[in-house]
Each structure stands twice: as C-alpha cells, then as structure tokens.
Structure 1
Amino acid sequence: MPAIDMPLQELQTYSGINPRPGDFEAYWERALSEMRGVDPTIELVPSPFQTPAAECFDLYFTGVRGARVHAKYARPRHSEQPHPAIVQFHGYSGSAGEWADKLSYVSLGFSIFSLDCRGQGGYSEDTGGVVGSTLNGHIIRGLDGDPDHLLFRHIFLDCAQLAGIAIDSPGVDASRVYAMGGSQGGALTIACAALEPRIKKLAPVFPFLSDYRRVWQMDLAKDAYAELKTYFRNFDPQHEREDEIFMKLGYIDIQHLANRIQGEVMMGVGLMDTICPPSSQFAAYNKITAQKRVEIYPDFGHEGLPGFTDKTIQFFLGNY
C-alpha cells in the first residue's frame, strides 16, 4: 500500500525524537499548582438555544493568568440519577461548534462541556503578555520567553480545569467523565487526561502537538505546523537555536504527557495523514501505559474516519 511515513510495524515501536526537558515533571506540577490556586468564579448563562431534552448554557470560568474562558455546556433536562459527562475539544483555530452536534450525547443521557480555546475561534479570552513574536500561531506564542508563558501551557491547563468543573457539576457521575476531540482536539484530549487523571475514557483522533522535531524532519512544517517554519525563517534563519527551540517546545509536546494518563484510551489514526504524520501520533500513543487500543485507517489522512464517531459512542457507553 502507499505510505507517507514509516511502515506500521515501525510506527508501533516508534518513541519520538523531540527532546523532553529535564525539569518536565516539575514544570507541569508547578503549572497545576498555579491552576489549583485560581478561583474559577464559574458563571452559567442560559443559552437562547434550548430543546425539550437539553438545557444549554454558556459556561464561563477564570483560568490561569486571569483569562475568562468559555465553554458550551449542555445537559439532559430530565435526569433522575447521576449521569456521565464528556469534555470535548475542537480543532486548531476553531471553536466549540454548534449546539446541534452536542445533542446526540445529551439524548443518551450525557452532559457535554465543549471548550473554546483561548484566542481562537470562540469566546475565550487570550490575556497575552508574552515576549516575542505572536505571528501566525499559538505553538510559538511565548517561545522567546520563560516557558511558563507558553500559550499552550495555559490551554492545556484550561482543559484540565474544565474537566474538573465537569466532574464536580451537579448530577454528573464523577466516575464516568470522558474526553474526546480531533487534531488539536485530539492533542487536548490527551493533555486533559494526563493533567486530570480522573478522566476515565478518552477518544483522541489524529492528535496534533506531538513530536515537533519529527514533523520538522519530515518537511511537514506547513499547514497546521507552518508557524514553525515561519518562526525559523524570521527569528533563527541559520538554526543556531534549533536545539534550544525544540527543547522548549518539549514542554508542550503531548508525547511527554501521555504516560500520566490513567483512563482507557481509544485513538483513531489515518496512515496517510500529512498534517499530523502518523509517527508523531504514535510517539504519543506508544507512551501511554494505561489500557489502550488504536483504530487504524490505512487509506485515510487528516479527515473524517468512517465509523469512528459511532465507535466512540459505543466506547463511552461501554459497548465497544
């Protein structure tokens, strides 16, 4: 069959090449401590969109660095017992999406919390304040300063914080809170479950933000990763800082968080993916030590994977 990356047998043992900073664990423990010290000041605003089966709210909370973060929250209107919940994450530059795509889960008795990533296509606030370029992307935002100011650090923490809010929400069964998303949403699903270990199941699809140096090595710093090439061309044209830059990106490389996951994982991968190459995805998957399985689509790239949405529903229902 055609291939754009390693053979499957090699993918299944590939361990990634982007460096992991020596203080990685301390970095994320410090970040989590900052998050836990924030008063979230949760606000629920009833949405104009309502259905006979679903109550819908705009949910706001304060995240790290004082940002007001928005999520869409839909819950069953008539739930007589603790019910499961899902935290959902969107693709790069997108938003929480429309209410309509939440209703299938609400009809099955789930609450669903869909994050708007700060500074992207929804209503979450990006409080800024970084040194250096912010041109063309969030991966490089904060790259020139202290790594504690990397924007994706804050976004990863928003994901964990929203998961904690979901777990503590009235009517939610804290033992049945799950996470899902594709591309950037797949990366955030992995980061969320790594930083909030009470997530019981997660279904990431072709996750982004993994093994940056491998993406660079494959000359795929384009499309969603184009900002990496733009950054080097503008700020390090002779790659004198290349090792330093990839090391700093290691703080927000999901492959290095993956071993913290405790929930059960079902991941979807297309082997023809030229946006988030399969090897970068397997770099994260292979580091997961929790119960896991991968659903492989040999002929598909960064696109809808037929049947995976149905499998995800069955996975969360405990039927698959």
Structure 2
Amino acid sequence: MKHIRPALFVLLLFAGIQEIVAQPAEQLVKVIVAPDHTNWTYHTGEKAKFTVSIIQYGNLLQNAKIKYDVGPERFPAVKSDSLVARDGKVTIDGGTMTTPGFLRCIVYAEVDGKRYRGLATAGFDPDQIKPAAAAPSDFTQFWDKAKADLAKIPMDARMTLLPERSTESVNVYHLNLQNFRPGARLYGILCVPKKEGKYPALLRVPGAGIRPYNGDIATAEKGVITLEIGIHGIPVNMDLSQYANLAGGALSGYQLFNLEDPERYYYKRVYMGCVRANDFLTSLPQFDGVNLGVTGGSQGGALSIVTAALDPRVKFLGAYYPALSDVTGFLVGRAGGWPHMFNKDNVNTASAKDKIRTTGYYDVVNFARLLKVPGMYSWGYNDETCPPTSMHPAYNVITAPKTLKLYLETGHWQFPEQREGMEGWLQSKLGVK
C-alpha cells in the first residue's frame, strides 16, 4: 500500500472541491460559534449576536485569546476585534443586514502557539434573496438545439464487465459512451441487478475534481440500476496518479475553460453528458420505463438541477449544496456561487463581458426556474465553498414541489443523518427500501 499513499495525497491536493461526505477532523481545541436565534435566521434589521465558546477536554478554556471578523460571506469584514474570553465564553454583537443575505462570524483562538478556527453564519430573510442571474432571451432555444444536436450523435455504448467489483446480486461495468460530438466520450460505472426484471434507475453526478469512481453498488443491491459518471471524457478506473497528473496539468482550472463562448464553454460537454447518460439508462432493457432520478453534491448538486430541468425523463432529484449557482452575485455586491469566477480579481478583464454573458446559459438559477419535478435539497449556512447566498436564490425560484433540509452548522460536508435522510427520500421515490 505504500506506493498508493503519495499518489492519493497528490490527487486530493489537486482535485479541487469534491462531494465531501465526512465531517471535519476533530481538533484538540474547539471554537464553537452560534447565533442567538436557534434557527440561525433573522429578519433584515434585526441584530444578530454570536456566542463563542472555546472548549478543551470538554470544558470551557479560561483566558483564551480570540480574534473575530464579521461580515457578508466572501467579502471583507465590516467588524473585527481581538479580546480575551476570560471564562472561555464571550458574546459578539454581529450587527444586522438591511437587505436579505448572510452574515458570517469567523473566530480564531490561539492556544499554546496554535491557531484554531470556528464560524457561524446568520441568515437574514434568505427566502427573499432574489437572483442576480438572468436567463438570456434564447436560453431555451440554445439548450433545445444542443439536445437536438446530441440526439444525432450515435451513443456507441461500450460496456466492460468488472468481475472484481461485481457482487452476488449485481453486475458492475465500466461504461463508455459517445457524448456531444463524434469522438468525445463519457465514462462511468454502471451497476445492474443480476436478477431478471424491470428496475428504476438513478444517475449519480459528480462533485468537482478529477478522480476515479467506484459506482453505487449498495443502491443497486436494493433493486436499482445505478450509473455514476465522470465528466471529463477520461476512463474512471485508471490509476490514481493519472488523475493527479491531469488535475495538476491539462485539466487544471477546467471550470473556466472557454468561458468567453457559450458554444465552447467546458460545461456544455458536461451538461450534455448528463443527458447522454440518461439516453443510455432509459435504453436498457432492465429499465422499468418510468422511474429515473438524479442526485449529487456541489458540482453534482448543480448537475442534478440542470439534468432534471433539461431532461423530462427525470422524475425527481436530490441535490446537496449546488455549485454554479447565481455566479454573478459578486456583480451586485454579494457572494456568487462556486467557482467564484466574478470575484474582485476577475471582473475587470477584457473578456469579462463575454464571460458574464456565457454564464447566463449555464447558471443553475436559470435551470431551477424550469424544474417541474419534485426535489429534495440540503445544505448548511456555514458552507464556504458554495455560499448559501448563492444557493438560496436558486431554491427560491423553484416552483416545482420542493423540500429544503437545512443542517445549519455544516459547511461543504454532510452529517451521516443528512445523507441518510437524502438517501431515504431517493429510495422512497425509487420504490425501494
């Protein structure tokens, strides 16, 4: 195993944000920050206070030195100070917001020469946040044409059985499809129940990064056809070192490739790849012909919404903390969605106008407006990768049946209970237990 670990380290170093599924590692000193409203939510004009507790060995740490910053997420602090929490606990007056949004309090504690960090985020009328993103006048026509062009491309499906991954009840395959233009490929791990019959299907779309995939065997064993796809047109069962090389080289920064041109932007192949994956799933003789869902987190949360909006064959979706949402929020003075392409460092380039135009065709908000199927959504107020300021506008414009399960203190990760709740909802839609 020794030869794997350096490669794994490099992979994680370069992979960018991913669909994080575990809580952050425990630390010796915990900096716990909490707003004084138990639901972390306020009306504009209300004042938010943050209680800070410095915990070591389960007890409040006396005379802890702390520094704090309070301000809108991903923007400079509007209030900063340093003080000593003599009893290990202190209350910070965070102030208020006059327009709907999120106010974040980040606290640093220095203990024995080491710095520890905690944060909490107060939402101010988040259900009233309106999108900055606007759909181009030809938005629907653009994607209708893209789908029509895709339909002309032969699927050319190639399935390779992976006997080492298959189980007593599930066959596992490495899948290779032709994507949005001749020669462009889409890869994934397909899991099909062995028992003869008709089954629902679930498409799992990936968080950002470049990495291999194992497939969703556990759900397949419950009687569901599952397909977990990659988005980069590379096999998803290669050695880890190859993904690390791509992440640090040819695919580094892929989120911004050709952003000046909506026809050539990188995510066109990605969005069409999700539709192509459904072309394949619905063509399988084992598919029940009706029940098709899609789910993912972060970039995968975005792709879940996009796929369900583009493809009427999708009957439901489950999305964790969707990226690519309201990305032009920065242009109206608030946090935009990952990958933050319009923060203060990127808005003054010569090509900014063309880039802004392109994002109108790809912003999750503009797909959320089109949703017609039920969706389960879940995130936390402390997400620093996909700011809640960017996710709530997308949720707010959805007119289809929707449920938002907030796990307030989560960042870009999930509690086990959060995953269990989402998986339970998906399985109920799929008709399995």
Q: Which runs of 5+ in 1 are unaligned?
A: 125-133
For the 8 Å contact 1:96–1:115, the answer to whether it is kept is no
2:390 aligned to 249, 267, 280, which one? Answer: 280
Query: Contact 2:374/2:400 (CA < 8 Å) preserved in 1?
Result: yes
CA RMSD in angstroms comes to: 2.7
Q: Distance in 1 between matches of 2:360 and 2:322?
A: 16
Higher relative contact order (CA 8 A, sep 6+): 1
* Aligned pair partner of 1:171 in 254, 277, 286: 286
How far residue 226 of structure 1 moved from its aligned partner, in angstroms, is 5.7
Structure 1 position 257 matched with structure 2 position 373: no
> Does residue 58 in structure 1 map to residue 160 in structure 2?
no
* TM-score (normalised: structure 1): 0.85
- In structure 2, the residue matched to 1:76 is 193
Which has the larger strand fraction?
A: 2
Match of 1:138 in 2: 254
- Greater helix share, 1 or 2? 1
Query: Which secondary structure state, in structure 1, belongs to the residue aligned with residue 149 of structure 2?
Result: helix
Is 1:246 paired with 2:353? Answer: no
**Is residue 2:331 matched to residue 1:211?**
no
Q: Is the 8 A contact 2:328 2:342 kept in 1?
A: no
Alpha-carbon distance in structure 2 between the residues aligned to 1:135 and 1:87:
24
Q: Which stretch of the first structure deviates more once superposed, 9-18 or 25-34?
A: 9-18
**Farther-moved stretch of structure 1 (33-42 vs 112-121):** 112-121
2:419 counterpart of 1:309: yes
Q: What is residue 218 of structure 2 aligned with on the other side?
A: 104
2:203: which partner in 1? 87
Contact 1:160 1:193 in 2 (8 A): no
Say which one has the larger Rg: 2
Identity value in percent: 23
Please give the per-residue CA displacement for 1:236-294, whole angstroms capped at 9, x wherever unaligned: 7x445544422221111111011222221000111111101112112222222211110
The one-letter code matched in structure 2 to 1:32 is: K
* Match of residue 292 from structure 1: 402
Q: CA deviation at 1:85?
A: 1.1
TM-score w.r.t. the length of structure 2 is 0.64
Relative to structure 1, the CA distance from residue 50 to residue 241 in structure 2 (aligned partners, 3 Å threshold; closer, same or farther) is closer
**Count of equivalent residues:** 301
1:22 and 2:137 aligned: yes
Aligned to 1:44: 159
- Counterparts of 2:293 and 2:336 in 1: how far apart (Å)? 31
Is 1:95–1:115's contact at 8 Å kept on the other side of the alignment? Answer: no
